[in-house]
Every structure is written in structure tokens, then in C-alpha cells.
């Protein structure tokens, strides 16, 4: 099975969850959830799984659980597939 990793710059407490675009090699994503007790991280993983058409368990945090700078792993997609599905 293919998988890829991607750097994410998460912005918690946004009015709504949305993918903003690329910030260098990192993907900038606004998340509606507050940065309390890992809720923003969980919401980020769930939002990106929905956006990419993946099951929730296919998106996991490798680094940066409590940081705005994260590295996520996406199971079932190559980096090229991920970029084409985001349409950015």
C-alpha cells in the first residue's frame, strides 16, 4: 500500500475548516476547533481525511501533536495523488 508524509501548518480557532494553500513545502490548513486537549489536531486529521476521500484512520500524526507545525502520514495515497486531490 502506498503512503506519503506531508508537513502541515495548522491554524486553530478559524471560523471554518479549510485548506488555504502551500507555504513553501508545507500545506497551510485552518481548523475550526480550538487548540485544547488535542481537539484541533483531531479535527485537522478528520477534515483532511474527508477532503481527500480517505477513511479517518488513514491520516495519522507523525510529529507535532501539540504544535502548529505538524507532519502527517496519509495511507493509501502517493504525494502526487494527494496534491491532485487537493486541487491547489
Give the pLDDT of residue 3: 95
Rounded to whole angstroms, how far apart are CA atoms 44 and 32?
9
Rounded to whole angstroms, how far apart are CA atoms 5 and 33?
23
DSSP assignment letter at 58: G
Q: Are 28 and 11 in contact (CB under 8 A)?
A: yes
59, pLDDT greater than 80: yes
**Burial, 39: exposed, middle or buried (Cβ in 10 Å; 0-12, 13-18, 19+)?**
middle
CATH topology of domain 3-83: Conserved Hypothetical Protein Mth637; Chain: A; (3.30.1200)
Give the pLDDT of residue 1: 74
Amino acid at each position: 500500500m502506498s503512503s506519503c508524509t506531508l508537513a502541515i501548518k495548522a491554524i486553530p480557532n478559524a471560523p471554518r475548516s479549510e485548506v488555504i494553500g502551500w507555504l513553501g513545502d508545507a500545506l497551510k490548513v485552518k481548523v475550526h476547533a480550538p487548540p485544547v486537549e488535542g481537539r484541533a489536531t483531531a479535527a485537522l486529521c478528520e477534515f483532511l481525511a474527508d477532503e481527500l476521500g480517505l477513511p479517518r484512520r488513514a491520516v495519522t500524526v507523525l510529529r507535532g501533536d501539540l504544535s502548529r507545525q505538524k507532519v502527517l502520514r496519509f495511507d493509501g495515497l502517493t504525494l502526487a495523488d494527494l496534491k491532485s486531490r487537493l486541487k491547489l
